[in-house]
Structure 1
Amino acid sequence: MTETSRNVVELEIEDIEGIGPTTARKMREAGISSVMELATAVADELATDLGGSKETASNFIMAAQKLLRESGVLDNEFTTADVELEKRKSLLRCSTGARALDELLLGGIETQAITEFYGEFGSGKSQICHTLCVTAQQPPSDGGLGGGVILIDTEGTFRPERVDQIARARGLDAGEVLKRIAICKAYNSSHLELIVKSMGKYIDDFKAKMIIIDSIISLHRAEFAGRGTLADRQQRLNGLMHKLVRIAEIYNVAVIVTNQVQSTPDTFFGDPTKPAGGNVIGHASTYRIYLRKAGNDRVAKIIDSPYHPYSDVRFTVNEKGIDDTDETPKKKSKDAAEE
């Protein structure tokens, strides 16, 4: 994806072939006010909003993506692997705040991808989110993304005092850091889905380069209880995650989600802790990282990745947020090896 903000601003929904004033008005009433938002829309939802068929809605979405490609905002559908490799070398990566964790992630949190952190309570998930709110705002030369942050809080765990402490401990202007973090408290699963559906507008408004959802599963897990509602819950989670995937790729932002865990009592060997949400969240997440407590420290372990090595590192939590331990290990930790 190339930086062509001027072209994006100049594009209008009416520029898309087959969309007239009436259809454009219906789209705007449904919250789709730009070509970028249409390109990330879900065909079923768009068909319902327009009162038409899914096929017609799919054609509009594909036409929007085609217009973005012709304008140089999106890459062509087919590229060669060598071109893709060069593009990936120039991808922005955001520091987590701990050198060891950055090395585990081969440079930090990537844009155009979903990074999932899961673990028990107290394993460091929310602390990573608070730290990323600070590090993402630093310029790329300092390991940041040079943009704002959108944080969706579904568990009531966000504390601005903690961000203020982390920013001050890292020698940054805490007031300016806090101004560039947009907080939204989601109170039910429908509210969360609506926020994500309108995310394109919020990204533009807050000039965001990172989206954090802490946590992705808590609201759906609370509202859809019992096996009878499992299929509906998973389908809605599936739509939510795939919407986030498209947003990450088209808007060139980093998406961070935290996930809860569940225990599997029938596990006699190994760790019985499993991420909640099943395969729906697992397949949609680009990178999946398991966090657990290890005394006063924490251990992060790569569980799923297209190219990261499956290893683990230790880090700690202090006034700087996520930070390296006094002696950052250069190889697999003894704690993990004993498992």
Structure 2
Amino acid sequence: MSKSTKSTDKEADEPDVQKREAQKIKTLTDLPGIGPATAQKLIEAGYSTLESIAVASPQELSATIGIPLATAQKAIKAAREALNIRFKTALELKLERLTVGKITTGSKALDELLGGGVETRTITEFFGEYGTGKCFVGPTLVKYYRGAELVVNDIESLYHEKKKTEGESRFDGGYIVRASDIIVESVDANGRIVKVSPSFIYKEKVPLIVEVKGEGDVKLEVTPRHPVLVYDGASSIWKPAIEIKPGDNLVSIMNNEVKLQRVYRVEIKEHNDYVYDLVVPRHHNFLSPEGLVLHNTQLCHQLSVNVQLPPDKGGLNGKAVYIDSEGTFRWERIESMARALGLDVEKTMENILYIRAVNSDHQMAIVEELAEIIPEQNIKLVVVDSVTGHFRAEYPGRENLALRQQKLNRHLHQLMRLAEIYNIAVVITNQVMARPDVFYGDPTQAVGGHVLYHAPGVRVQLRKSKGNKRIARVVDAPHLPEGEAVFAITEIGIRDAAD
């Protein structure tokens, strides 16, 4: 055999050798140049998986744990080969695309709009009219029935009354007491007043509140993102308290008669004290003695339940992680959604890993930790609700815009890496703002600028329709046509809208 033939054979064998070497790599110590001591340093620095090594830069890895740049480059290259992160042919991408999983939303119309459901290996963004985060100050009056007796009491006194008889439990960032023995008036999806039992009263400490004053001595003191029912000249809409302006009309219902009370002052105040909320299942609102409709969130909750379903029912047989930056998570909605699907309620709730992000740095640190949690816990869905809330609050004004966008960009790339490497679905919600320069069409746009315009693979705008109906519109997706779908938020979750 000639020398040139031997050389050709050797070159032909090299890819197979590299493939066999990559298949041998299962742990950090299997990487070239990484022994037990170096592996321990990597773990302590947050690089505990092959995936975290594969997406790191050589300079970052070298500086963090003090290894030569060449060693870092070899380790990263080996990790990428082991994870099959390389150039691929279009045919390989097609075959890889067939492994993409989809989670049903609960609505066939919405699933069809999304090409079969919410996909893995990408970020899906839902943005709508307002965020949440709903609570009232202690002196807020509550109208309720105890048997046949009508009682008007402040919510703080009611909380302490229930604390004495029912006891108090820690929940989320605050406390809850049971309140199922009283009845409150609520407005259902069709605008009718119904009587329902609240499940709990919730309290937590907050730094700021918004004071809204209106005609007839109306005074409302709530958290900034608390939705308040107002009339916009054409219909009644929910509006965050922070966005209410003098001249807006509050909607009140007294003796089944709708009244409008004009707002004349809105003021942000320091509070640094507890606020309270009545947790009302199904309708999530109650009527105050003045008749004001007080709101107390849906798609992310439904996906967190549906991901646990078997594939033949639209799920992925996996768990969900719910990162809550606005206090929007409500376990009672999970309970009702799970029960409607015939799932074990307690097991369903155990399969949702919840964490409250207290600021933007904490939010990013949580996502870093997910590299370890996802493979260990069989996570198939990560929800960030909302993705921009903390960034917007911590970096206000044009002078901080560049820094905010850089940090938000890093965060979105964290989430993109998780989606692609672990083949999971990532769902983010986003706030919207009004553009004063738009006089025709929809004046709202998602917060986050161009960074958020390009990062998510699928962007969906949600807006209110009549009653409990919502309209979803695909505004950006490389593989989906633009279109709209109507779905409904019902007592048992997301469903198709009734004709």
- Does TM, normalized by the shorter one, top 0.5? yes
C-alpha deviation, 1:42, in angstroms: 5.9
Which one of the candidate residues 400, 403, 412 is aligned to 1:241? 412
TM-score under structure 2 length normalisation:
0.59
* Deviation for aligned residue 1:243: 1.4
The answer on 1:318 being equivalent to 2:490 is yes
Task: State, as a whole percentage, how many aligned pairs show the same letter.
Answer: 43
TM-score normalised to structure 1 length:
0.86
CA deviations 1:60-93 (Å, max 9, x no partner) are 4343112222xxxx5x5222x2342233234211
Question: Does structure 1 residue 208 correspond to structure 2 residue 379?
Answer: yes
Of 182, 185, 188, which residue of structure 1 is paired with 2:359?
A: 188
Among residues 323, 326, 344, which one is paired with 1:155 in the alignment? 326
Q: Deviations over 1:122-177 (max 9, x none)?
A: 79xx4000000111000111110110001101111101111001111222221111
Q: Does 1:221 align with 2:231?
A: no
Q: Structure 1: where are the runs of 5+ without partners?
A: 1-6, 328-339
- Tell me the alpha carbon deviations over residues 230-253 of structure 1, each in whole angstroms, 9 at most, x when there is no partner: 111111111111111111111111
Distance in 1, Cα, partners of 2:74 & 2:450: 29
SS at match of 2:33: coil
Partner of 2:298: 127
Q: CA deviation at 1:263?
A: 1.2
* Structure 2 residues not aligned, in runs of 5+: 1-21, 132-237, 239-296
Contact 1:44 1:54 survives alignment (8 Å): yes
**Residue from 112, 128, 134 that aligns with 2:121:** 112
Deviation at 1:53, TM superposition (A): 8.5
Is the Cα–Cα contact under 8 Å of residues 189 and 220 in structure 1 kept in the other structure?
yes
Alignment correspondent of 2:271: none
Aligned residues: 313
Greater shift, 210-219 or 56-65, is seen at 56-65
Residue identity opposite 2:358 in structure 1: Y
CA root-mean-square deviation: 2.3
| Structure (1/2) with the larger strand percentage | 2
1:302 partnered with 2:474 = yes
- In structure 2, what residue type is equivalent to 1:36? E
Instruction: Describe the shift of the 1:218–1:18 C-alpha distance in structure 2 as closer, same or farther (beyond 3 A).
Output: same
Q: Distance in 2 between matches of 1:224 and 1:41?
A: 27
Paired with 1:259 and 1:42, the residues of 2 have a C-alpha distance of: 30
SS across alignment from 1:242: helix
| Contact 1:40–1:250 (Cα < 8 Å) also in 2 | no
Distance 2:24 2:38 in 1: 20
Determine which structure has greater relative contact order: mean sequence separation of CA pairs < 8 Å that are 6+ residues apart, divided by chain length.
1
Maintained 8 Å contact 2:32/2:71: no
Match of residue 444, structure 2, among 270, 273, 282: 273
Higher CA-based Rg? 2
Match of 2:314 in 1: 143
CA distance, structure 1, for counterparts of residue 30 and residue 464 of structure 2: 53
Closer, same or farther: CA 265–167 of 1 in aligned 2, 3 Å = same
Q: Which has the higher helix share?
A: 1
Quote the Cα distance in structure 2 between the aligned partners of 1:287 and 1:48. Answer: 36
